[in-house]
A and B are shown apart, each in its own frame.
Chain A
């Protein structure tokens, strides 16, 4: 019993037997996941495995077909509108392209959640915003509009905005995609240091192995709607799972086939009638 309790306390996000489908396409098929408090947990897998969908399920933007998603003890799919929004105030999310509001500048973007949710004075808001912008190294870019920021800078401003309400959990959706090596290095360092300095719990959804493995405390590998491997970075590299090895080594063929399912190649070339029209 005590053990059971300590497990609940250690996991901030608890996913059990989660299934989710979009039309006929099954994205998750009974997966179990735990996101530990204070840790950086990575969810990895090839494109199209529903990594972003998983973040949306945790954030309550989508509802699972079956199974449970609990965040800090609250069953997300069962929350009403008001309770869900209250929970989201304690969550931060970094979107793949930053998703900054394009009609206001960097400062106002970071100040946006504070102005919407608090009645703090403008003076205090200024102090808080500048502190967060300083943390991501962009205090000097406060007056720039989103269109004037580079991709990496946008993501850093969005990161400052996501942590400005001091959330308990940060979710990163493909934070490293399309970044130059310097921006990538900056983001990797920021994610880890913000997690430790602010006492956050972080979830990184990514397929960039090197960067993610460098900062993740625990990694889940997803494929075909299931968790195919999990463990620390060392565990996974040492794992005998063919799937983990294919993904980590970047092999073109293996459990994830190189070829999209098709009829036999010879038959197709000779155009023998085998059910297909073409």
Chain B
């Protein structure tokens, strides 16, 4: 019993210590970010590796998710003779929920894990230590550009995901199932609000971008400098950031659309 309590206490302490280290790291990244204005090329290089290289998986997934939405939406709506609202169903589902959430989950798997592994290996091979000894602060030179690249890329990827999804829904709904072309677009135009739907979706993906990239960078920087340590950290990145995205999505949805 005592041993169980002890182990529980140890785990709780460990959790809070990690949480504290994570916040300190985030503060250091934010405090060191002003230097990036003069060296934005570092961020652009990272946007290529975390954002551009994630495009393929985002495009393909977005297309299929949109096609499935088109098919499922049509099958439900046709029973009520409301299949002309398919455009609204597809676009609202994507813009409010699936775009930000699914692209954040994919981003965590594709870019988050890569960031953790890269930073963890740089630590294991003493590259970060060597930078410190060369008087180059790794937080400013390595971590901050990656953080901002993730934060900038995530909303863009989510927007691309949603746009491609809408086209996927159009292929299935209009192209295959015979929904009226004009109705698909005009209903969408009439019922999707720029501020309450699109901007809220962008805000969600912005928050997800911060959380996923932060977790990925923290896990990499906090990894034990061994191959096992890096592999565990990579797994933790995917698990923790996926859970964080899903949990935060509920909170954000409740705040944005609750009333």
Contact = CB atoms under 8 A, between A and B. Distances in A.
Interface of A: 59, 61, 81, 85-86, 88-89, 91-93, 95-97, 99-102, 112-113, 116-117, 158, 161-162, 165
Given A97-B125, A99-B125, A102-B125, A85 B137 contact: yes
A34 B135 CA distance: 24
Nearest to B126: A99
B61 interface: no
B135 A85 contact: yes
Contacts of B126: 95-97, 99
B127 A99 contact: yes
B121 to A, nearest CB: 8
A149 B133 CA distance: 22
B118 to A, nearest CB: 9
A86 B141 CA distance: 16
A96 B124 CA distance: 12
A165 B135 CA distance: 11
A113 B125 contact: no
B130 A93 contact: yes
Contacts of A86: 135
A99 B129 contact: yes
B130 A102 contact: no
Given A85-B137, A102-B125, A116-B141, A95 B130 contact: yes
Interface centre among B122, B130, B134, B137 (most CB of A within 10 A): B134
B13 interface: no
A116 B131 CA distance: 10
B127 A61 contact: no
B42 to A, nearest CB: 11
Given A86-B135, A89-B135, 12 more contacts: A59-B133, A61-B129, A61-B133, A88-B133, A88-B134, A93-B130, A93-B133, A95-B130, A99-B130, A100-B130, A101-B130, A112-B134
Given A93-B130, A95-B130, A99-B130, A117 B125 contact: no
Given A93-B130, A99-B130, A116-B141, A88 B125 contact: no
B14 interface: no
A95 B130 CA distance: 7
10 contacts: A81-B137, A92-B133, A93-B130, A97-B125, A99-B130, A100-B130, A101-B131, A112-B136, A113-B136, A165-B134
Contacts of A158: 130
A62 B174 CA distance: 65
Contact of A116 (B122, B132, B136): B136
Contacts of A88: 132-135
A162 B129 CA distance: 13
Interface in B185-199: none
A99 B132 CA distance: 12
A130 B27 CA distance: 39
Contacts of A112: 134, 136
Contacts of A93: 130, 133
Contacts of B137: 81, 85
B129 A116 contact: no
Contacts of B141: 116
A97 B134 CA distance: 16
Contacts of B125: 97, 99, 102
B199 to A, nearest CB: 37
Interface in B125-158: 125-127, 129-137, 141
A117 to B, nearest CB: 7
A101 B127 CA distance: 6
A79 to B, nearest CB: 12
A86 B136 CA distance: 10
B134 A116 contact: yes
B129 A95 contact: yes
A43 to B, nearest CB: 17
